[in-house]
Amino acid sequence: MSVIVAVKVFGDTGAFRKSLEDRADDYRRIAKQGKENGALSHRFALGDGFVLVNDEWESADAFQGFFGTPEMREFIGSDGGDPNRAPEITVGESIDSPDKF
């Protein structure tokens, strides 16, 4: 059974938005690595002082193995993530429901 993962990364959303353009190839490379390691879907959203990551992964372990690497911590920090504030991570089992779309 897959898991839904929500990650709230605090930081400079302007720097993050700019990095999406400036480092597009890096984002594509990381997305490829994520898929190879169990990511099923991925998207971003912006809020006031945070970036929200909404993913689906094959398992919580697959997500942790990918997200917990030094490379990912460095990448997040270089794209506006606040190094003094840990991301908030919520993981839940993905389930089917009659209203799913």
67 burial (CB, 10 Å; 0-12 / 13-18 / 19+) is buried
Domains of the chain, with CATH numbers? Answer: 3-93 (3.30.70.100)
Check: CB of residue 3 under 8 Å from CB of residue 61.
Answer: no
Residue 57: predicted pLDDT: 98
Say what the pTM is.
0.93
Residue 30: predicted pLDDT: 97
**What whole-number percentage of the chain has pLDDT above 70?**
100
Mean pLDDT of 23-49: 98
Check: CB of residue 3 under 8 Å from CB of residue 60.
Answer: yes
Mean pLDDT of 50-60: 98
